[in-house]
Structure formats: structure tokens, C-alpha cells
Amino acid sequence: MTVQANIGVAAQQVLAKLVAGLEIEFGHGAGEALARRFLDAEESDFVWDARVCERWLGALDSEDDFGLELDRIAVVGCMDGAWYAAVSIVDGDGQAQGLMARRACASEGEAREFYAGLR
């Protein structure tokens, strides 16, 4: 049986699930270190997928976008129990293409307060 869940719904358990899967593949002890490296490498995708709210900030003005129309989107999210506010770079298909900023917050309230001030 296969179970699929959106990472945004399962954000509280994303690290634990990633570690468990990697330990099955690479052995006990390797999972957490590999999971942290994977999260770091794919940070913009995880931040975008684990968002609980978003707000459009405007188009990204960049000469390095290779003809893509990109937008700056403010997000609030929670991943592995840690709240954050961030500015994601997102393409027209709703796919994360990068991060401009990310701030770790002590609580949901702090994340939403910082999010409210993002321009």
C-alpha cells in the first residue's frame, strides 16, 4: 500500500520521515546527517511546500532569470516544529525557484508579525 501526503500537510513530521527513509536506505546513524544535507540543498522547495500562508509581493526584476517571469512571494510556514517567515522566488507554474530571505521565528505569532512587515 502506498500513502502519499502533501509536505505542507505533513510539515511537522518532514524531518522524521526523511530520516527514517534515509536510514532504511543507508543504515542507522546516517539518516539524520543526510537528511540535514538534503534539506539544506533543497531549502527553497521545502520552505515553499511547508507554507501555511502566502502573499504576493511583486514581480522579480532580474536580468538573470533566463526569460522566466518570476514573482516574489512572502510566506509563513512551519517545518519540523520550527516557524519561519520567508520571501520565495516562484515561477508562473507555482514552483519555487529560490529564496531571497528566510527568518527563523520562536513562534507562529512572531513569524506572522515578521511576514506582515515583508515588502
In the predicted structure, residue 32 carries a pLDDT above the cut 60: yes
Q: Which range of residues forms the domain containing residue 39? A: 11-116
In the predicted structure, residue 38 carries a pLDDT above the cut 80: yes
Asked if residue 6 is part of any domain, the answer here is no
Asked if residue 24 is part of any domain, the answer here is yes
Can you tell me the mean pLDDT for 10-18? 70
Asked if residue 4 is part of any domain, the answer here is no
Sheet strands side by side (includes 70-79):
51-59, 70-79, 82-91, 96-105
Asked if residue 79 is part of any domain, the answer here is yes
- What's the pLDDT score for residue 81? 86
Asked if residue 2 is part of any domain, the answer here is no
Asked if residue 1 is part of any domain, the answer here is no
In the predicted structure, residue 8 carries a pLDDT above the cut 60: no
pTM of the predicted structure, to 2 decimals? 0.78
- What's the pLDDT score for residue 117? 94
Asked if residue 98 is part of any domain, the answer here is yes
